[in-house]
């Protein structure tokens, strides 16, 4: 078992092989921590130990008051080729450990503007430098900032196990609040955006009770393409207003083919409300969330109209 | 835990090797294994950014990074910013601008700023705000931090003021350098060798009876030695409280808990063992009981009692009555009435409570963050059954306090373990533990009526308020007494009745929080004043001016007041007010969902204890070798007491400020300067410092037979006294030293002259008052209910601005807390015990702040000075609420004004208008 890590081209021996052992009396429990440099090794560790997958750790550490992650831990940040964004035939591939700050810095077409805007709203700079795209998806918070723009980009997730790859639409991957379709032994290895979703321009709007470091009350992502003054393609999604961020297919259908001008005036609040099931909590009540979702959609569309 | 292979790290350009588990937080390894305690931890969750370090030049939260990920990368911490003994430019700018107050956030701010400045040498404000957006500050309101970063390339310095010119100079804080170089020692930054780590087992229920089960069996199941302490181990009287007459809080609960988070047992042992214990497995059998969470439930006729001896769950009621308010209200031309509800507000200092205790011979020494060292000593001694003389309190730097660190937290707990084991003991609250177990601002339910005559003069006011003091008394009595005295605001109210009650519930203990209930009461009075001005058709600022107290007027307590600065403060707002109203009118003529609103509110606040003695004592001495030492026992929690008190003393004595050595605070080294609360340190300890400086000067003049005009100069062991006619030289080295080692020394006390209040609250509750008025300009989004405050203009009468820059820092920080209280802060027990569900303003939420310092001398205050620390928060929330109402018509009566509440209020207003 290879248990070394690569960092900036330098091979370092991080750690000897310690499989989580039963707690020994008189000796603190040793937590196993794996940081392999190949996907094959990572999958083998996962298969054997069922380790917790760690990347940016921006959700794992806040979940404990302890000073050490409880093992066994599989740290995937040293795996070659898992970080970065690449254009390829058929679309774009965002590696699982791509950081939010990588997204901000990437050269991407305007259809990805909403993803970049969302990336700048994930916590603050410190969290954007550590947190990963795949981590945001696998954590499956109803208020995950990354989900609405990726839904509006028709993102698919690549899940890899020892038996091979499978690809799922993001909308099918997140099945509920903090619930995903990830199977034991599987790692998310990439997020894939189809070529067709790279068209048009996009906008992300987030509403919270303060400017930085805030969990959304509601957020929307909108991607719009048009020809001859009419909408040819439209993707609308809303986050933090249901257990899982949602696309709004009924409203999309109603607006496709309409004139781009005054699109915002055609947003039917009923179609927004019918698609969502928000909760009332300390941040806002459900009725407010529905209204806010509609208003944010109107504003995002207006921004895109103005630019059209 | 030292359980890993050696990892090679590069920290501040040096290669180091640590033996540590790869899954440990980088922050913990930096602090514990490498001793780099300049990196602070405030939440262990990435919510506060205090632990910001740079990895390969980019900012990260060190609490969120397992050290496995940093091997081979360049780690930069605050300790590495200075080079060759010289501060970096950004550190110097922080000092110069007063950007560090308590300074617990300063290392994180400095690192976030230095990452930006490496990329962009002269960033603009937006870039600075984005770079600092991930670091929370609770003291400064961010204004001076942003200024410092924008001016990092600047170098203008402040010359050290000459003798006699310290007061009025914006001297950089004397205790500043350790605050910007990472060497300041906060509660968690010091660990005696081989200290036991202590953790508390806390109640998961709001109310419950309990029995402790098989502790021996539980200990036996642990992997290493663990010691357990319960109430049965407490040698003294197991109750504490800031007011001796109603001490009611056990250090460890005995058989029942009255609130979530109450400690029932302590575990202590080797840190690596204690840290990993799962305390939910500790053997406690809980029998939950019905909890009274709302004041309405607690005051219901058949309610059970939180404390058996407190009828109707009322701890205490306070009352002020003058004239015949009901008759005046019945004859009034206009009467306005409102009911307002506010929630728990959390202090949210970035430093959770922490400290260490050890035995020094017979003496128990406790070094912890605090605002009240002498009260800590006395209460801890009582709980532990020790004579006061056997307890020494050394306040660590306090990473924010705002009132909550007046109450005991870790002190009796670590004191107990150190006393029982003879070993050093250390405790660091987690963020959750800090928020769950320490005091809050009192939630209030208040109703008031105010009436005016046809000329717009206030003729009468009636105020009634319930203040939820939670499970224990803490400062509930102070709130109940202060509120009726202050609920009139700084206005003439000839007929007045105000009563306030501190009501027990099973909620968190409500204690002192900047203003002791007055900020809540001001919301009621100031929003009613807008109603009345509108009813009478008088400009809202003019209405306040018409009714403002003037010199020689009597307060609602019958006290004749002089040095009253409220008119000056309101007048200072006149021009900006007119400009702002015009601007709002122009903006509101445009289409779109944004409505601009402008609001104003005034404040007053009495400095020091309410009609109770609260003396301060200052010792000042010169040694035979010419060291000038000021023993100053007032804790500086960031507000600047160390600097301001020394400035006053320097000018009273007539020697330059930079020749002073500061001693203390430390109960073994400094006389009692009381607590840092009630905006009292500048006034009361400042006056003691003035008296000490004057007394030592008189002594020196007498020795040299010179008149009061003479100038002093301290030059080594020579003290020169000169006037136009000649010079005398006192050779200090030949004078006999006293028992403290001083050849010239004095100790002076000052207790402000107050007079007890009678049954109608009539008397002289405070010797000195401060005044202020603030104007808010903001924008309401009519479709989303969001509020963006654009500008606050704050005029505060502080009598004499001892240090104008520090005063501005207080104003900016107070406004930040007032803005949070108005717009976003609401503590819900069990639900918002972290800094991502409990929101305080970030740098991006702060408006431009224009401070106007008014200096109307107080006849009693030192050099005319008045207090400021709490005043600055009081008008902010009412000014914001009045501006919201002005902008969109919505009246918010349930705080905070979260977007959904504002939108609902907008709709209610629209329906009322249309319906």
- Inter-chain residue contact A210 with B824, CB threshold 8 Å: yes
- Inter-chain residue contact B5 with A15, CB threshold 8 Å: yes
- List of chain B residues whose C-beta atoms are within 8 Å of the C-beta of residue A25: 223
Residue of A27, A211, A287 with shortest CB distance to B842: A211
- Inter-chain residue contact A127 with B134, CB threshold 8 Å: yes
- List of chain A residues whose C-beta atoms are within 8 Å of the C-beta of residue B55: 129
- List of chain B residues whose C-beta atoms are within 8 Å of the C-beta of residue A209: 823-824, 839, 898-899
Whether A102 has a pLDDT exceeding 60, the answer reads yes
* Pair A103, B95: CB distance under 8 Å: no
Best A209, A281, A296 residue to mutate vs chain B (most B CBs within 10 Å): A209
Whether A12 has a pLDDT exceeding 60, the answer reads no
Please report, for chain A, the start and end positions of each structural domain, with discontinuous segments joined by +.
5-75, 85-197, 198-307
* Sheet arrangement for strand B256-257: B256-257, B208-212, B284-288
- List of chain A residues whose C-beta atoms are within 8 Å of the C-beta of residue B842: 124, 210-214
Sign of CA dihedral B788, B790, B796, B801: positive
Burial class (CB in 10 A: 0-12, 13-18, 19+), B749: middle
B200 and B218, same domain (yes or no): yes
- List of chain B residues whose C-beta atoms are within 8 Å of the C-beta of residue A278: none
- List of chain A residues whose C-beta atoms are within 8 Å of the C-beta of residue B130: 120, 125
A68 interfacial to chain B (CB closer than 8 Å) = yes
Question: Which CATH number is correct for A85-197, 3.30.43.10, 3.40.50.720, 3.40.50.1970, 3.30.465.10?
Answer: 3.30.465.10
C-alpha closest to that of B519 among B156, B87, B818, B158: B818
B358 and B225, same domain (yes or no): yes
A104 interfacial to chain B (CB closer than 8 Å) = no
- Inter-chain residue contact A14 with B58, CB threshold 8 Å: no
- List of chain B residues whose C-beta atoms are within 8 Å of the C-beta of residue A29: 223, 276
- Inter-chain residue contact B898 with A31, CB threshold 8 Å: no
C-alpha closest to that of B159 among B656, B754, B761: B656
Residue B561 structural domain: 440-609+759-914
- Inter-chain residue contact A69 with B4, CB threshold 8 Å: no
The pLDDT confidence band at residue A27, using thresholds 50, 70 and 90, is very low
> Which chain A residue's Cα is nearest to B276?
A66
**CATH number, domain containing residue B19:** 3.10.20.30
Q: What is the C-alpha separation between B866 and B858, in angstroms, rounded?
A: 7
- Inter-chain residue contact B899 with A207, CB threshold 8 Å: yes
Residue of B71, B72, B223 with shortest CB distance to A25: B223
- Inter-chain residue contact A288 with B823, CB threshold 8 Å: no
Residue of B21, B59, B841 with shortest CB distance to A31: B21
Number of A to B CB contacts under 8 A, please give it. Answer: 197
Best B21, B58, B275, B823 residue to mutate vs chain A (most A CBs within 10 Å): B21
Residue of B22, B45, B59 with shortest CB distance to A33: B22
CA angle B16, B21, B27 (to 5 degrees): 65
> Which chain B residue's Cα is nearest to A22?
B223
Give the H/E segment covering residue B650: helix B641-653
Does some domain include residue B523?
Answer: yes
Q: What is the C-alpha separation between A139 and A131, in angstroms, rounded?
A: 11
Residue of B59, B72, B832 with shortest CB distance to A8: B72
> Which chain A residue's Cα is nearest to B824?
A209
pLDDT value for B265: 98
Domain-ending residue, one of B375, B403, B437: B437
Does some domain include residue B623?
Answer: yes
Does some domain include residue B170?
Answer: no
Whether A28 has a pLDDT exceeding 50, the answer reads no
- List of chain A residues whose C-beta atoms are within 8 Å of the C-beta of residue B52: 126
B646 and B698, same domain (yes or no): yes
Residue of A25, A57, A120 with shortest CB distance to B66: A57
B586 and B652, same domain (yes or no): no
Does some domain include residue B29?
Answer: yes
Please name the residues between 225 and 264 in chain A that touch chain B, using a CB distance below 8 Å: none
- List of chain B residues whose C-beta atoms are within 8 Å of the C-beta of residue A31: 21, 23
B487 and B504, same domain (yes or no): yes
Same CATH fold, A198-307 and A85-197? no
- Inter-chain residue contact A212 with B832, CB threshold 8 Å: no
B573 and B488, same domain (yes or no): yes
- List of chain A residues whose C-beta atoms are within 8 Å of the C-beta of residue B906: none
- Inter-chain residue contact B844 with A23, CB threshold 8 Å: no
Please give the structure tokens belonging to residue B825. Answer: 């802060």
Tell me how many helices (H) and strands (E) chain B has.
Answer: 22, 33
- In degrees rounded to 5, what are phi and psi of residue B760? -100, 15
C-alpha closest to that of B47 among A129, A90, A214: A214
- List of chain B residues whose C-beta atoms are within 8 Å of the C-beta of residue A35: 22, 68-69
Q: How many CA atoms lie within 13 A of B615 on its CB side?
A: 10
Best B25, B49, B68, B137 residue to mutate vs chain A (most A CBs within 10 Å): B68
Residue in the structure block whose two tokens are 């036991």: B196
Residue in the structure block whose two tokens are 């170098």: B155
- Inter-chain residue contact A126 with B52, CB threshold 8 Å: yes
C-alpha closest to that of B172 among B684, B620, B644: B644
Domain-ending residue, one of B403, B422, B437: B437
B246 and B384, same domain (yes or no): yes
B593 and B702, same domain (yes or no): no
Q: How many angstroms separate the CA of residue A196 from the nearest CA in chain B?
A: 33
Q: What is the C-alpha separation between A239 and A246, in angstroms, rounded?
A: 7
B678 and B766, same domain (yes or no): no
Domain-ending residue, one of B159, B187, B209: B159
A127 interfacial to chain B (CB closer than 8 Å) = yes
pLDDT value for A267: 97
What rounded mean pLDDT belongs to chain A? Answer: 90
- Inter-chain residue contact B5 with A13, CB threshold 8 Å: yes
Q: What is the C-alpha separation between B4 and B8, in angstroms, rounded?
A: 12
Beta-carbon contacts of residue A149 (< 8 Å; ≥ 6 apart): A112, A114, A115, A117, A118, A202, A204, A221, A237
The pLDDT confidence band at residue A7, using thresholds 50, 70 and 90, is very low
Domain count, chain B: 4
Please give the structure tokens belonging to residue B583. Answer: 């601007």
Residue of A16, A75, A213 with shortest CB distance to B66: A75
Does some domain include residue B335?
Answer: no
**CATH number, domain containing residue B899:** 3.30.365.10
Whether A23 has a pLDDT exceeding 90, the answer reads no
* Pair B727, B720: CB distance under 8 Å: yes
pLDDT value for A31: 67
Q: How many angstroms separate the CA of residue B720 from the nearest CA in chain A?
A: 56
pLDDT value for A307: 75
Does some domain include residue B298?
Answer: no
- Inter-chain residue contact A211 with B136, CB threshold 8 Å: no
- List of chain A residues whose C-beta atoms are within 8 Å of the C-beta of residue B784: 207, 292, 295-296
B511 and B569, same domain (yes or no): yes
Q: How many angstroms separate the CA of residue B359 from the nearest CA in chain A?
A: 28
Q: What is the C-alpha separation between B617 and B667, in angstroms, rounded?
A: 12
Please give the structure tokens belonging to residue A134. Answer: 């795949």
Q: Which CATH architecture is the domain A198-307 placed in?
A: 2-Layer Sandwich (3.30)
Q: How many angstroms separate the CA of residue A254 from the nearest CA in chain B?
A: 23
* Pair B287, B229: CB distance under 8 Å: no
Q: How many angstroms separate the CA of residue A192 from the nearest CA in chain B?
A: 26
Does some domain include residue B171?
Answer: no
- Residue B57: which region, alpha, beta or left (left: phi > 0; alpha: psi -120 to 50)? left
- List of chain A residues whose C-beta atoms are within 8 Å of the C-beta of residue B113: none
B725 and B838, same domain (yes or no): no
Please give the structure tokens belonging to residue A61. Answer: 């550490």
CA B157 to chain centroid, in Å, comes to 29
- Inter-chain residue contact B785 with A288, CB threshold 8 Å: yes
- Inter-chain residue contact A209 with B130, CB threshold 8 Å: no
Please give the structure tokens belonging to residue B325. Answer: 């308010």
Q: What is the mean pLDDT of each run of 10 residues along chain B (915 residues)?
A: 69 95 97 97 98 98 97 96 93 97 98 98 97 98 98 84 96 97 98 97 98 97 96 98 94 98 98 94 98 97 96 97 98 98 98 98 98 98 98 98 98 98 98 98 98 98 98 97 98 98 98 98 98 98 98 98 98 98 98 97 98 97 98 97 98 98 96 96 98 98 96 97 94 97 98 97 98 98 98 98 98 98 97 97 98 98 98 98 97 97 97 87
Point out which residues pair with B391 in neighbouring strands.
Answer: B364
Q: How many angstroms separate the CA of residue B70 from the nearest CA in chain A?
A: 9
DSSP labels, A105-173: HS---GGGHHHHHHHTTSS-HHHHHH-BHHHHHHHT-TT-TTHHHHHHTT-EEEEEETTEEEEEEHHHH
Does some domain include residue B341?
Answer: no
B99 and B223, same domain (yes or no): no
């Amino acid at each position: 078992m290879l248990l070394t890590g690569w960092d900036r081209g330098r091979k370092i021996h991080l750690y000897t092989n310690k499989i989580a052992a039963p707690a020994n009396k008189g000796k603190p429990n040793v937590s196993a921590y794996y940081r392999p440099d190949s996907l094959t090794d990572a999958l083998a560790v996962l298969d054997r130990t069922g380790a917790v997958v760690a990347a940016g750790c921006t959700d794992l550490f806040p979940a404990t008051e302890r000073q050490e992650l409880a093992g066994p831990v599989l740290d995937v940040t040293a795996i070659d080729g898992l970080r970065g964004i690449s254009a390829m035939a058929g679309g774009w591939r965002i590696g699982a450990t791509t950081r939010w700050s990588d997204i901000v810095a990437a050269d991407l077409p305007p259809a990805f503007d909403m993803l970049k805007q969302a990336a700048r709203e994930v916590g603050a700079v410190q969290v954007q430098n550590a947190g990963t795209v795949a981590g945001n998806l696998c954590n499956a918070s109803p208020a995950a900032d990354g989900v609405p723009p990726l839904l509006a980009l028709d993102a698919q997730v690549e899940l890899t196990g020892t038996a091979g790859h499978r690809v799922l639409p993001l909308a099918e991957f997140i099945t509920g609040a903090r619930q995903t379709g990830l199977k034991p032994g599987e790692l998310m290895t990439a997020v894939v955006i189809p070529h067709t979703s790279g068209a048009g321009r996009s906008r992300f709007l987030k509403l919270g009770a303060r400017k930085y470091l805030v969990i959304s009350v509601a957020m929307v992502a909108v991607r719009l393409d048009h020809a001859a003054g009419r909408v040819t393609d439209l993707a609308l999604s809303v986050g933090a207003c249901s257990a899982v961020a949602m696309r709004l297919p009924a409203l999309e259908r109603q607006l496709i083919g309409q004139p781009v001008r005054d699109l915002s005036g055609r947003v039917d609040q009923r179609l927004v409300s019918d698609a969502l099931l928000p909760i009332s909590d300390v941040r806002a009540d459900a009725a407010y969330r529905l209204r806010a979702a509609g208003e944010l959609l109107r504003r995002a569309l207006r921004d895109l109209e103005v630019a059209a | 835990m030292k359980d890993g292979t050696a990892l090679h790290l590069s920290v501040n350009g040096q290669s180091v090797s640590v033996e540590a588990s790869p899954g440990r937080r980088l922050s913990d390894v930096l602090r514990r294994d490498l001793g780099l305690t300049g990196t602070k931890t405030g939440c262990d969750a990435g919510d506060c950014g205090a632990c910001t370090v740079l990895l390969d030049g980019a900012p990260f939260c060190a609490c969120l990074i397992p050290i496995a990920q940093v091997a081979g990368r360049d780690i930069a911490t605050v300790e590495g910013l200075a080079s060759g003994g010289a501060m970096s430019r950004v550190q110097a700018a922080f000092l110069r601008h007063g950007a560090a107050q308590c300074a617990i956030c300063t290392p994180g701010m400095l690192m976030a700023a230095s990452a930006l400045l490496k990329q962009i040498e002269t960033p603009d404000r937006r870039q600075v705000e984005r770079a600092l957006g991930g670091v929370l500050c609770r003291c400064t309101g961010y204004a001076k931090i942003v200024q410092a970063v924008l001016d990092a390339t600047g170098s203008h310095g402040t010359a050290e003021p000459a003798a006699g010119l310290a007061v009025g100079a914006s001297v950089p804080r004397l205790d500043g350098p350790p605050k910007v170089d990472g060497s300041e020692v906060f509660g968690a930054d010091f660990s005696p060798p081989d200290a036991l780590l202590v953790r508390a087992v806390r109640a998961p229920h709001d109310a419950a009876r309990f029995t402790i089960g098989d502790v021996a069996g539980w200990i036996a199941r642990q992997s290493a030695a663990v010691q357990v302490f319960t109430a049965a181990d407490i040698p003294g009287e197991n109750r504490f409280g800031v007011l001796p007459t109603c001490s009611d809080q056990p250090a460890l609960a005995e058989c029942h808990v009255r609130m979530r988070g109450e400690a029932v047992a302590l575990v202590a042992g080797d840190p690596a063992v204690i840290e990993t214990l799962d305390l939910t497995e500790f053997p406690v059998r809980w029998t939950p009981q019905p909890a009274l969470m709302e004041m309405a439930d607690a005051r219901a006729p058949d309610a059970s009692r939180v404390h058996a001896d407190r009828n109707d769950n009322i701890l205490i009621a306070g009352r002020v009555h003058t004239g015949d308010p009901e008759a005046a209200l019945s004859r009034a031309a206009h009467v306005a009435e409102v009911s307002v509800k506010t929630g728990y507000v959390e202090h949210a200092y970035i430093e959770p409570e922490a400290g260490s205790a050890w035995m020094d011979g017979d003496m128990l020494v406790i070094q912890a963050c605090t605002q009240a060292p002498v009260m800590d000593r006395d209460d801890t001694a009582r709980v532990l059954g020790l004579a006061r003389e056997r307890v020494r309190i050394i306040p660590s730097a306090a990473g924010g306090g705002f009132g909550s660190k007046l109450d005991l937290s870790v002190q009796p707990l670590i004191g107990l373990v150190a006393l029982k084991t003879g070993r050093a003991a250390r405790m660091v609250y987690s963020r959750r533990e800090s928020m769950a177990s320490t005091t809050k601002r009192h939630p209030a339910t208040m109703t008031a009526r105010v009436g005016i005559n046809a000329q717009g003069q206030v003729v009468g006011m009636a105020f009634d308020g319930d203040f939820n003091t939670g499970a224990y008394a803490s400062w509930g009595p102070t709130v109940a007494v202060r509120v009726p005295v202050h609920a009139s605001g700084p206005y003439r109210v000839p007929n007045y009745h105000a009563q306030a009650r501190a009501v027990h519930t099973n909620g968190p203990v409500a204690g002192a929080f900047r203003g002791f209930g007055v900020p809540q009461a001001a919301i009621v009075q100031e929003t009613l004043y807008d109603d009345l001005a509108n009813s009478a058709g008088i400009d809202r600022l003019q209405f306040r001016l018409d009714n403002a107290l003037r010199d020689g007027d009597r307060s609602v307590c019958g006290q004749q007041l002089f040095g009253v600065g409220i008119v000056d403060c309101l007048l200072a707002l006149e021009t900006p007010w007119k400009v702002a109203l015009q601007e709002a009118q122009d903006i509101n003529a445009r289409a779109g969902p944004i409505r601009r609103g402008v609001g104003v509110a005034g404040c007053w606040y009495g400095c020091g204890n309410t009609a109770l003695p609260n003396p301060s004592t200052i010792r000042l001495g010169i040694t035979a070798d010419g060291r000038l030492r000021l023993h100053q026992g007032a804790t500086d929690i960031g507000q600047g007491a160390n600097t301001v008190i020394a400035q006053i003393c320097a000018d009273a004595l007539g020697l330059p400020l930079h020749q002073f050595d500061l001693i203390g605070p430390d109960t073994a080294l400094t006389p009692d300067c009381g607590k840092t609360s009630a905006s009292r340190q500048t006034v009361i300890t400042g006056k003691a410092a003035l008296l000490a400086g004057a007394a030592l000067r008189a002594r020196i003049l007498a020795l040299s037979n010179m008149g009061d005009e003479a100038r002093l100069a301290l030059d080594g062991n020579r003290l020169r006294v000169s006037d136009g006619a000649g010079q005398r030289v006192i050779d200090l080295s030949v004078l006999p030293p006293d028992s403290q080692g001083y050849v010239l020394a004095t100790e002076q006390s000052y207790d402000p002259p107050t007079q007890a209040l009678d049954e109608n609250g009539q008397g002289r509750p405070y010797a000195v008052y401060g005044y202020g008025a603030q104007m808010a300009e903001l924008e309401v989004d009519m479709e989303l209910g969001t509020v963006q405050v654009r500008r606050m203009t704050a005029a505060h009468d502080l009598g004499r601005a001892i240090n104008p820059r520090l005063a501005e820092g207080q104003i900016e920080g107070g406004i930040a807390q007032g803005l949070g209280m108005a717009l976003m802060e609401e503590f819900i027990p069990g639900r918002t015990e972290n800094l991502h569900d409990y929101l305080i303003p970030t740098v991006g939420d702060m408006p431009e702040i224009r401070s106007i310092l008014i200096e109307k001398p107080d006849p009693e205050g030192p050099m005319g000075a008045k207090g400021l620390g709490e005043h600055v928060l009081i008008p902010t929330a009412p000014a914001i609420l009045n501006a919201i109402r002005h902008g969109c018509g919505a009246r918010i009566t349930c705080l905070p004004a979260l977007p959904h509440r504002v939108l609902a209020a907008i709709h209610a207003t629209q329906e009322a208008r249309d319906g």
